[in-house]
A and B are shown apart, each in its own frame.
Chain A
């Protein structure tokens, strides 16, 4: 049996989660999770709803604050000061389940707003960059559209372009296809697959098992706020070592 070597395993990891805890009142949403993400890896977080995967993702860019343990990004623990957190967030792109495009702005403005507001880039330059990114996600002809006049899949692709505009070092995807009509899921997954091929570091919370299996370098299975099992997709999907991982995948109709 060959030993699986993770991508960039010889370099320091980009993100390290160490015994991370997050509770809401008495409910432990994340209960002592430790894992790491290397540069260039696509890590998929899977598991039943409410198992803490999204919460962990939201702790990564400090939309939620952790109650215990530590998250280190590029060697440094997440800061607590507002100004420093904003610096960190610029290096982490986030894509939400419900897109969260700004409805009062066009597709182009949605993509350029971070550049003009946060990076203080000149409007013309930001515009050029936004057009390039919308082209990249296949929406060159929709720059002037408002979100209300885009399909779900198109909205989510704009949201990906919006996050990419900031030139993040890692992209966080929070169930990016869960709110989509089945016919538009594919176009979003395609964009994500291309991104992975370009070497973008990605953490993806997803219920798309075939995506996790084909695109992920590393798969992490969550259950009730805890890490059930982690490993390369071949192991998780073909030879899960834990009985409950098999149960979970079986419930989804996954048959290896």
Chain B
């Protein structure tokens, strides 16, 4: 078998760029899906029935669809439905946000529910409003409890961003696949891609382990 690893080094520019897009996509998705998850979790707990139903429907729909399908759907169906012609990056981002917001919503919901009622009552008894109680007492405590789960979600998301390569978003997987099909260096490029994902993902996983140790619930 004739291997030529020089292709990897020659492609370092595009690969680095792809890796940066992957990181950017992960970060942007979380920046939207964390507040999104909090809002959805609050909506699910709302006393207004239609609001709660809408949020429940949203979460159960997007949590239970394959992400790959969601990416295709966002690319082909969303522009028809909404009339918005988004570029691939924004389309991929939207699909990831729908999925991860739904997941984060469940994470936050369990975190919020794990804070016992007496804590809210102590805040209310001081004369605080419900929103003050939520922001000052419930959320900061829930936050610490859900941080390890959010960190795990981040690591999964980092790898799952590769799915948006199917709609030609220029992230790491798409870039590597492009180079592969132009150079016919299949084994080299797939190996390089695996190495890059692993080298970037491993430290993140270690950070998650550290967060679990530091913030994990010990009761």
Interface majority SS on A: helix, strand, loop or mixed?
mixed
Total contacts A to B, CB within 8 angstroms?
57
Rounded to whole angstroms, the CA-CA distance of A168 and B126 in the bound complex is 10
A-contacting residues, B121-145, CB 8 Å: 121-130, 132, 136-137, 140-141, 144
Taking a contact as CB atoms under 8 Å apart, the answer to whether B126 and A63 are in contact is: no
Closest B residue to A91 by CB, please name it: B127
Taking a contact as CB atoms under 8 Å apart, the answer to whether B127 and A104 are in contact is: no
Interface majority SS on B: helix, strand, loop or mixed?
helix
Given that A104-B140, A104-B144, A113-B136 are contacting pairs, would A118 and B122 also be in contact in the complex, using a CB cutoff of 8 Å?
A: no
B-contacting residues, A76-134, CB 8 Å: 82, 86-87, 89-90, 92-94, 96, 98, 100-104, 113-114, 117-118
Partner of A104, one of B123, B125, B141: B141
Listed residue (B124, B125, B129) with the most chain A CB atoms within 10 angstroms of its CB: B125
Q: Does B118 contact A (CB under 8 A)?
A: yes
Rounded to whole angstroms, the CA-CA distance of A113 and B122 in the bound complex is 11
Taking a contact as CB atoms under 8 Å apart, the answer to whether B125 and A89 are in contact is: yes
Taking a contact as CB atoms under 8 Å apart, the answer to whether A96 and B121 are in contact is: yes
- Chain B residues with CB under 8 A of A159: 122
Rounded to whole angstroms, the CA-CA distance of A103 and B132 in the bound complex is 16
Rounded to whole angstroms, the CA-CA distance of A100 and B128 in the bound complex is 15
Closest A residue to B119 by CB, please name it: A100
B-contacting residues, A139-171, CB 8 Å: 159, 162-163, 166
Q: Give a binary string over A54-75; 1 marks a CB under 8 Å from any B CB, 0 the rest.
A: 0000000101000000000000
Taking a contact as CB atoms under 8 Å apart, the answer to whether B128 and A96 are in contact is: no
Taking a contact as CB atoms under 8 Å apart, the answer to whether B124 and A90 are in contact is: no
Rounded to whole angstroms, the CA-CA distance of A102 and B119 in the bound complex is 7
Taking a contact as CB atoms under 8 Å apart, the answer to whether A90 and B127 are in contact is: yes
- Chain B residues with CB under 8 A of A94: 122, 125
Rounded to whole angstroms, the CA-CA distance of A80 and B91 in the bound complex is 48
Rounded to whole angstroms, the CA-CA distance of A225 and B126 in the bound complex is 27
Partner of A61, one of B125, B136, B140: B125
Rounded to whole angstroms, the CA-CA distance of A58 and B95 in the bound complex is 47
Rounded to whole angstroms, the CA-CA distance of A100 and B137 in the bound complex is 11
Q: How many residues of B contact A (CB 8 A)?
A: 18
Listed residue (B123, B127, B129, B141) with the most chain A CB atoms within 10 angstroms of its CB: B127
Taking a contact as CB atoms under 8 Å apart, the answer to whether B126 and A162 are in contact is: yes
Taking the nearest CB of chain A, how far is it from the CB of B94, in angstroms?
Answer: 34
Taking the nearest CB of chain A, how far is it from the CB of B146, in angstroms?
Answer: 14
- Chain B residues with CB under 8 A of A162: 126
- Chain A residues with CB under 8 A of B132: 117-118
Rounded to whole angstroms, the CA-CA distance of A63 and B123 in the bound complex is 11
- Chain B residues with CB under 8 A of A63: 121, 124-125
Listed residue (B121, B130, B132) with the most chain A CB atoms within 10 angstroms of its CB: B121
Rounded to whole angstroms, the CA-CA distance of A87 and B140 in the bound complex is 25
- Chain A residues with CB under 8 A of B126: 89-90, 113-114, 117-118, 162-163, 166
Taking the nearest CB of chain A, how far is it from the CB of B12, in angstroms?
Answer: 46
Taking the nearest CB of chain B, how far is it from the CB of A68, in angstroms?
Answer: 23
Rounded to whole angstroms, the CA-CA distance of A103 and B119 in the bound complex is 9
Rounded to whole angstroms, the CA-CA distance of A96 and B121 in the bound complex is 9
Taking a contact as CB atoms under 8 Å apart, the answer to whether B125 and A118 are in contact is: no
Closest A residue to B133 by CB, please name it: A117
Listed residue (A82, A93, A114) with the most chain B CB atoms within 10 angstroms of its CB: A114
Instruction: Jot down 20 A-B pairs with beta carbons below 8 A, ordered by A.
Output: A63-B124, A82-B129, A86-B129, A87-B127, A89-B125, A89-B126, A89-B127, A93-B125, A94-B122, A98-B118, A100-B118, A100-B119, A101-B122, A102-B122, A104-B140, A104-B141, A114-B126, A117-B136, A118-B132, A166-B127
Add 15 more A-B contacts to A89-B127, A93-B125, A117-B128 (CB < 8 A). Answer: A86-B127, A89-B124, A89-B125, A90-B126, A94-B122, A100-B122, A102-B137, A102-B141, A104-B144, A113-B126, A114-B127, A118-B127, A118-B132, A163-B125, A163-B126
Ranked nearest first, the 10 interchain pairs of A and B with the lowest CB-CB distance are A100-B122, A90-B127, A114-B126, A94-B125, A100-B118, A118-B127, A89-B127, A86-B127, A104-B140, A117-B132
Binding site for A on B (CB under 8 A): 118-119, 121-130, 132, 136-137, 140-141, 144
